[in-house]
Amino acid sequence: MEIEFKRGPKGFYVGDESHPSAEILFEETSKEVIIYHTEVQPALSGQGIGRKLVNLVTEEAKKVNKPIISYCSYADKVLSNDPPTLSWNIKK
């Protein structure tokens, strides 16, 4: 099954925007890209979808050459285990 990742006003998601099967919420400020929340419903867990969502945000940050600030424990884990070639910080 091919998973389609879509871009919405608050982040990336899979499924219906009002009731996504998976999502990552982030915003781009003038200085950084801030990740707030990542969630994958149990029906899609174990397929690497959460990691792909974090990678999509990383790609966005690279395009605009901004660091990533993460307030999301899952994104922290992904970024810590597989650091991008971009400077980023983890803030609690």
Do 68 and 55 form a contact (C-beta atoms < 8 A)?
A: no
- Specify the DSSP element, H or E, that contains 92: none
58-71 pLDDT, tens digit per residue, is 999 999 989 999 99
Tell me the CATH number at 41: 3.40.630.30
Token output for 78:
């992904």
14-58 pLDDT, tens digit per residue, is 999 999 999 999 999 999 999 999 999 999 999 999 999 999 999
Domain count across the chain: 1
Question: Domain of 12?
Answer: 5-90
First and final CA of the chain: distance in angstroms? 36
- Specify the DSSP element, H or E, that contains 1: none
